[in-house]
Chains A and B, each alone.
Chain A
Amino acid sequence: MTPTTERAYRAPPSVPFASRLKKSLFASPLDCFITILCAVLFTTIIYAVVDWAFLSSIWSEEDEALCRESSGACWSVIDARHRIIFFGLFPYEEHWRSTLACIVMIITIAASCLPALWSATRLGLLWVSGFGIFYMLMHGGVFGMTVITPERWGGLALTIFIFAAVSLLGMPLSVVLALGRRSKLPVIAKLFGLFIDFFRSLPLLTILFTAAIITPFVLPGWLQGDKLYRVIVGFAIFFACYQAENIRAGMQAIPPGQDEAGLTLGLNYWQRVTRILLPQAFRNSLPSIVNQFVITFKETSIVTIVGFFEILASGSAAYGTGKWTVHYIEVYVFIGVIYFLFVFSLSRYGAYLENKLRVGHD
């Protein structure tokens, strides 16, 4: 008999870092060559970017004259024109309102990422109040703030407004659509299915054009509202149809026994939907739900085409005058970084959730 100590559980043998490195990067002469080549290329590119963006760049508006001699980025244009990028044509002396509104909305978005707030009532309350404050600050007309109508909203603030409004309208609608499509009554299920598939088969651009330009001819005056709101409603329907399919996929993965267990405990339809069906459906398809938000954030730039001054359009305006026209690259890089911050953090958050929920589940 072997002594028990030899059979005791132990950690797998560890491989030293150096030999792991050698194995994956320098195993053969060809590997060495490729590794070194890549390293050289990589450092050259990184250096060029860092040099352009930071080392040789010009930062302040007053130094704009130096830009012509320097090989780096001319951030003077951002220094001079960032307010247009952020706020569009919003009146200059009211920019604090726009700033505050954006901060409130970003906090709202960030807070809704906290699992502690994941119940229909809490999320609903958070978004309705966050969005309400945003709208109040932007629109004014209360607490002595002057009224600023949506035609003058622009820049990042408008992008955030459209994104938030589309999410706020679209999410509840998507739940309703997903539930409708799963209805036990065939007529209802077919009708919802038709609605969803109809809007999913149209390009977003078509929907926005229709909402902005054609609906005024069709709808009675009192129903038309501002062009911005029509566009948002169209966008929200489009968003909801895609999101509904994501949610429905999550519902499909729930075994029927879950609903039966709810039934036998005496829960009614809404209790089963809100406590059993939806929480599991959202967990099942969180990656695709977050992904839809990411896509929507990027797609907000399309509203430029129906005449809105969101961040990308404001960017063109920022470099569109006088001496700044040559510095469009810097403006687009700046806007790219803003988009990147939003989208990258959203998608990292999605990946984090996916991991976390997988651990929690089994």
Chain B
Amino acid sequence: MTDNSGAQTRAVSMTDVNKWFGDFHVLRHINLTIDDGEKVVVCGPSGSGKSTLIRCICKLEDHQEGIINVLGTELNEDVANIDEIRREVGMVFQQFNLFPHMTVLENCTLAQTLVRKKSRKEAEEIAMEFLHKVRIPEQSTKYPGELSGGQQQRVAIARSLCMNPKIMLFDEPTSALDPEMISEVLDVMVSLAEEGMTMICVTHEMGFARRVADRVIFMDEGEIVEQNDPHSFFDNPENERSKLFLSQILQH
């Protein structure tokens, strides 16, 4: 079987995936493969299904038709393997979603001790290592409510990284941030990309996309309308809808 040998290097493959919310056809005939170590930026107008697409990859949403294969395992109703996949896929949300009743350090150690069964000491060492990496080790004893948005988002990234994921998903990680905090988060994401992490980012930060993305995917009305390398996509979009979208976000 050809698919099996390919599974080694495929991080994600989606074959003719369809999804509905009630009667609303939110994802339409999605075909997409993402290789190990590839960095993909997903963009498109509001409501086009970008969030839904990446939420399907970590099974926060169910799809109704088609096959989604993540790290060689098919996502279906089998609960045991779903939990296993979720551990390998990190997700960073627009609203950070840190646990407000735990310190930064506890946010980072919780899943390590419960899911990875690490000792508390070991988990704390790993957490501090990643907090260093996102450049806020000094905040480890604070609560999320005491941090700025940019700091919270970096903690959220560190929290995901502590689980040693093979794929990182980002859903508009900078769009809830004040402008002066965007770059501190993007810097962390760039260095993560440089280390070879497989990344799928929903973002409209074009500078980031040009710098790290291997591929840009443009979605509209639940479809993948265009995929290309970032320079071709941003400089010479082929599709009418991509052109319109780019002209709109470039107006500012």
Residues of A in contact with B (beta carbons under 8 Å apart): 255, 257-258, 260-261, 263-268, 271, 275-276, 279-280, 283, 360-362
Contact = CB atoms under 8 A, between A and B. Distances in A.
A73 B86 CA distance: 71
A361 B100 contact: yes
B97 A276 contact: no
Contacts of A275: 99, 110, 114
A263 B160 CA distance: 12
Contacts of B73: none
B83 interface: yes
Given A260-B60, A260-B93, A362-B145, A266 B163 contact: yes
A280 B115 contact: no
A261 B114 contact: no
Contacts of B90: 264
Contact of A257 (B58, B83, B97, B159): B97
Nearest to B89: A264
B24 to A, nearest CB: 19
Nearest to B87: A266
Interface string B45-76: 00000000000001110000000000000000
B60 A265 contact: no
Given A266-B83, A266-B87, A266-B115, A258 B99 contact: yes
Q: Which 7 residue pairs spanning A and B have beta carbons closest together?
A: A266-B87, A265-B111, A362-B145, A261-B97, A257-B97, A264-B91, A266-B115
A279 B168 CA distance: 28
Contacts of A261: 91, 93, 97-99, 156
Interface in B121-155: 143, 145-146
Contacts of A267: 110-111, 114-115
A360 B99 contact: no
Interface size class on chain B is 20 to 34
B99 A264 contact: no
Contacts of A260: 60, 91, 93, 97
A361 B101 CA distance: 7
B196 to A, nearest CB: 21
Nearest to B55: A260
A261 B157 CA distance: 12
Nearest to B59: A263
B203 interface: no
22 contacts: A255-B95, A255-B97, A260-B60, A261-B93, A261-B98, A261-B99, A263-B58, A264-B89, A264-B90, A265-B111, A266-B84, A266-B86, A267-B111, A267-B114, A267-B115, A268-B83, A271-B114, A275-B99, A279-B101, A361-B145, A362-B145, A362-B146
Nearest to A254: B100
B101 A283 contact: yes
Nearest to A261: B97
Given A261-B156, A264-B60, A265-B160, 18 more contacts: A255-B95, A255-B97, A258-B97, A258-B99, A261-B91, A263-B60, A264-B160, A265-B111, A265-B115, A266-B83, A266-B87, A266-B163, A267-B110, A267-B111, A267-B114, A275-B99, A276-B99, A362-B146
Nearest to A260: B60
A211 B79 CA distance: 42
Nearest to A274: B114
Contacts of B59: 263
Nearest to B85: A266
A283 B93 CA distance: 24
A218 B59 CA distance: 49
A261 B152 CA distance: 14
B86 A264 contact: yes
A283 B114 CA distance: 22
A152 to B, nearest CB: 45
Contacts of B110: 265, 267, 275
A115 B59 CA distance: 36
A266 B110 CA distance: 11
A360 B143 contact: yes
A199 B97 CA distance: 36
Contacts of B163: 265-266
Contact of B100 (A263, A264, A268, A280): A280
Nearest to A283: B101
Given A275-B114, A361-B145, A257 B93 contact: yes
Contacts of B114: 267, 271, 275
A238 B133 CA distance: 52
Contacts of B145: 360-362
Contact of A264 (B58, B95, B101, B143): B58
A18 B89 CA distance: 66
B95 A265 contact: no
A267 B95 CA distance: 19
Interface in B172-211: none
Nearest to B115: A266
